[in-house]
Amino acid sequence: MSDRILVAHASRRGSTREVAEEIAAVFTAAGMEVDVRPVGLVTDLAGYRAVVLGSSVRRHGFLPEAVSFVRRYREELSRMPVAYFSVSGLLKTDTPKNRQTAAHFVDKALKAAPEVAPVAMGAFAGRYEAPAMCPFMRLVTALGWVRSGDWRDWNTIRTWAESVRSVLAPAA
């Protein structure tokens, strides 16, 4: 088995992909070999010693393609360290209640493969840009019900990645 780490992501507008790339950068800076791939482009987990899976959140959970990834690779994932992270607008206001709600965003993935016990779970605020959204969401933004912004806290993301890196690092 290789010492490579896969950071797989499911992203609609690129925010989650950028978080995955930052997590991978933390791992790479520590000397780890890392691949970053959209879940739809992953065809095999052979050659990876661990997986970090991230998804943006829609309808209060991981995107369907992220859940399908977990189902498809459930056997392989159950034999290696796995970490999950979610990216959503909910945490633009970081309160204990919102953190508790965000902790449940990975539930669809956990239910898809209960035998996959993640070594870590993270939840991060995301980015929302109305011009990139569907006409309905642009209208919602124009009416002032939702505002555009980037609420990602890169220091929090890096700190989480460091804690996960120490768990995923191969034994000396």
pLDDT digits (tens, 9 = 90+) for 43-82: 999 999 999 999 988 777 889 999 999 999 999 999 999 9
Q: Which backbone phi and psi does 7 adopt, to 5 degrees?
A: -110, 100
- Residue 91, token pair as written in the block: 């945490």
35 backbone dihedrals φ, ψ, rounded to 5°:
-115, 140
Domains, the chain? 4-168 (3.40.50.360)
48-58 and 82-88 as β-strands: parallel, antiparallel, unpaired?
parallel
Question: What's the confidence (pLDDT) of residue 29?
Answer: 95
Closest CA to 20 of 86, 98, 78: 86
pTM metric for this prediction: 0.86
Closest CA to 12 of 90, 70, 64, 74: 64
Number of neighbouring beta carbons within 10 Å of residue 34: 22
